[in-house]
Structure 1
Amino acid sequence: MSTDTIAPAIPDLSDPATFASGVPHQTFDAVRQLPGLYWQPAKAGTLNGGFWCVTRHADIVEIERNPEVFSSQWGPFFPTLPAPHPEFSHNIMYNDPPEHSRLRRAAARSFGPRVIANFDTWVREIVVEVLEDITVHGEVNWVGDVAAIVPSRVIARVIGVPHRDRQRIVDWTLTIFDAAEQPNGGESILALLPDVHAYLEQLRMDKLRDPQDDFATVLAQCAERGEISQPEYLHYLTLLLIAGFETTHTVIAQSMRLVLDDPQIADAADRAVAADNLGGLVDEFLRYVTPAMNMARTVTRDVDFHGTRMRKGDLVQMFFTAANRDPAVFADPHRFDPLRTSNEHMAFGNGPHHCIGKNLAKLELKILFEEMHRRGIAIALNGEPRRGWSTFINKLLSLPVTVTTTGRQEARP
């Protein structure tokens, strides 16, 4: 199959409208079958007028493991920066090894045993609080009242943000994600950072005066010892606010939409929860939804990638959502199956930049389904879901539902 014969049937993968009705999995299946890589022209947001679409699981693994050729310095997503920006040089997502490795080692300390020991308690308290709220109301928007609230409160608690400031996390995160998808995404984000950083700097000083078992304290102490700089502290906490919210927010939203839309998925999910196969269920939702659909790298020199000639400055768009449906890795990839014996999905990326907080995100979804089952909570659709337009995030903006409960309180295992 040649690029010339299939290209006219491929929609514009740089246009959010292509994703308006859902992820174009048939398109990705077609692109994956092409020899080499497919070039998607783009009107803005790249150095060389477009990007290479990487849809095969093995190709993404190879690219992620070669940061010398496929760099993050121009930004990890499309639209990319016109040049590496001094402000973003402090951000772990915009760095390659060895700087990335140094920052990641310091960041990993925030997931130390004293903090991790609190995760289950913190997450469960927040999930129970949210479930009790929606049960009282009976009619809610699952996206705004559950999917946004649980991860924002969890990440605020894990970082150490006071209760009174939790709503700021939601507002800032959604605004930053919207800005990132604009043609001048880097500049739009830069305009938002002063307010976020001013808040986080105050938090740093508060944590040094009154240390707690939370991320902000650990990172503030790292900065105080000189292991990371003050700008690196600010950028890493900003990243935690964003990444710690968005992946979980989207998978909580889209997993419930799948349950409500598809009786077979609903049945598979019920059986997985009843059989205490929550780990398999969570991983399958992450694979099937793929909240962050892609990440990008910029080519640092002319290179031949398995027959595709790439130029210095070309953008490489790694479509995790396509890799997660790659039949070379996943048997019957478009079938939802929590019983997969192997689920090497890329919902959290791959290689040096894989998400350091993935276990916390999985824990939130696991506890949510566990507590819903234990309390006999049933969810039914109560209106039309509303999807967002995005080439980056598998967005769901609204999911109106009714909430009923049997009132049972099964003992926790």
Structure 2
Amino acid sequence: MAFKAQETDFTAPTQDDIDESIRKYGRDIYNDFDLDDPVFNDKHFEILDDLVDKCPVAHSKVGKGYYLVSQNKLVREVGQNWRTFSAAGGYMPNRPDGLPFLFPEESDPPLHTAWRSALNPFMGPAVINDYEAQIRKDANTLIDAFIEKGECEFVSEFAAVLPGWAFFKNVLGVPVEDLDKLVDGVEQGTFSPDLEERGAKFGFVFQYLGDYLKQRSEQPPRGDMVDMIAAGVPYEDGTTSPWEHRVSVLVDMTFGGIATTTYVMASAIKWLAENPEARQLLLDDPDTYMPRAIEEFARVFAPVVALGRTCTKDVELGGQQLKEGDFVMMVYAGASRDPRVVEDPKTIDITRETVLHSAFGVGVHRCIGSNLARLELRATFEEWLKRIPEYRVVEPPTHVSGYLRSMRTLKLAW
């Protein structure tokens, strides 16, 4: 007998909904979805809202096919039930052949628990807070380079650089001059339309970080996270994690450290340019409103659009019968826009006292870097507004979307 995830009644999209989808987007997003379709990039929020409103479980025919859940309740059901919805099959649909898994993200307990227990102390609030002075200094160094020009391309000159500097300098100890190569590897490995290129770019990242981890393992210990990863962790069966697992963990941490915060940062800076009252509120009372603004920006501008899980058994989810081996994607970006849990979710309101969102994931796989991301965002908004309180958007930004979303360009002037 199939495991039944929920007893709630769910209503599938009507034929009118499907016809409207084809009219608006050129395809039936409920039964023929494609994360990489340019229309999902161009009409991102509109499509997310339609999925949340009208479709408990959407389907994609791309490659081997996959399902998507966007409503908050279903995203949490999948994310919190790793025994039925396993991360061990990977988080990306139609995974390129030969691409190594990223631990601990693409694993389940007890392997996941072993690594997260060892990593958590290096990413906790007390440790991350010690990075604040350096991150603020770096933010001002970047601003120094363009403030006198009266303009900048915010993504390439700031938002794509600061997260990497923060992670490389404070966590990894990797030379910052190598940042561009790794950012390119991560971005092309994520967004390239050529699946073979995605695999090749990820291969470069694995090779680079594997070489770095080997070097560090032969050097005197520094007592940091890289030392811990190089030494490995004990597994439940009494063995120590193999070398390839250790490299995988370093790649996973680096990927998260340089691939996600940019979108939230740039999108928020754009929105603040267009909302002077909110800018003033953050200038006048940052202690009250900055933490709320950061959570609201993370809710609306979720960089991790959707991550996948593999069904370990037949299961009913959102009124849809899924089979063992089916791939289900949790649309975090949709769950954070669900009117069932967020009042007026389409409105950006930095005064919300409580902001419920799924931007950092749900369940045991929740983002380990959330403390660092929040610090980077706070340092950015405070230092930017202190030095450039009045600015404007020169031309519309450009984006790229898939299972992640990123802003590629944002031209500002003041």
Match runs of 1:10-409 below 5 Å: 10=21, 11=27, 12=29, 13-14=33-34, 15-23=36-44, 25-34=45-54, 36-42=56-62, 44=63, 46=64, 50-80=65-95, 87-88=100-101, 91-111=103-123, 115-157=127-169, 158-179=171-192, 182-183=194-195, 187-188=199-200, 191-205=203-217, 208-209=219-220, 211-212=221-222, 214-222=224-232, 228-260=241-273, 262-263=274-275, 266-276=276-286, 277-388=289-400, 390-402=401-413, 404=414
- Write the deviation string for residues 97-156 of structure 1: whole angstroms up to 9, x where unpaired: 111111211222333688435221221121121121221343221010011111111111
Decide whether aligned partners of structure 1 residues 136 and 231 sit closer, same or farther in structure 2, where only a CA change above 3 A counts: farther
Aligned ranges 1:2-17 → 2 under 5 Å: 2-5=12-15, 6-10=17-21, 11=27, 12=29, 13-14=33-34, 15-17=36-38
TM-score, scaled to structure 2: 0.84
Question: Which ranges in structure 2 are unaligned for 5 or more consecutive residues?
Answer: 1-10, 22-26
Same amino acid, percent of matched pairs: 24
TM-score (norm 1): 0.84
Structure 1 pair 57/224, CA: closer, same or farther in 2 (3 Å)? closer
Could you say if the C-alpha distance between residues 256 and 98 of structure 1 is closer, same or farther in structure 2, counting changes exceeding 3 Å?
same
Q: Is the 8 A contact 2:262 2:406 kept in 1?
A: no
CA contact (8 A) 2:312 2:324 kept: yes
Q: CA deviation at 1:35?
A: 6.6
Amino acid across the alignment from 1:319: V
> 1:146-171 CA deviation, whole Å, 9 max, x = no partner?
11111111111121113443333323
Deviations for 1:25-47, whole angstroms, at most 9, x for unmatched residues?
Answer: 333333334474232332x1x3x
How many angstroms does 1:73 deviate by? 2.0
Aligned residues: 387
Tell me if the contact between 2:56 and 2:71 (Cα under 8 Å) persists in the aligned partners: no
Report the residue type matching 1:241 in the other structure: T
Note if contact 2:186-2:205 (Cα within 8 Å) is conserved in structure 1: no
Q: Give 2:24's aligned residue.
A: none
- Separation of aligned partners in 1, 2:374 and 2:260: 10
Shift of 1:203: 4.2
* Structure 1: runs of 5 or more not aligned: 405-413
Cα distance change, pair 95–223 in 1 and its aligned pair in 2 (3 A): closer
For residues 107 and 198 of structure 2, the distance between their equivalents in structure 1, rounded to whole angstroms, comes to 15
Contact preservation (8 Å) 1:81, 1:185: no
Which secondary structure does the structure 2 equivalent of 1:20 belong to? Answer: helix
Distance 2:129 2:46 in 1: 43
The aligned amino acid for 1:121 is A
Q: After superposition, give the CA deviation of every residue in 1:317-351 in whole Å (9 maximum; x if it has no partner).
A: 21111111111111011111112121121111111
Q: How far did 1:65 drift?
A: 1.2
- 1:189, CA displacement in angstroms? 5.4
Contact kept? 1:298, 1:316, Cα under 8 Å: yes
> Take 2:403 and 2:141, find their aligned partners in 1: how far apart are those partners?
31
1:92 is paired with a residue whose SS is coil
Closer, same or farther: CA 399–186 of 1 in aligned 2, 3 Å: closer
| Structure 1 residue 227: Cα displacement | 5.6
Contact 1:61 1:350 in 2 (8 A): yes
Name the SS for the 1:93 alignment partner: coil
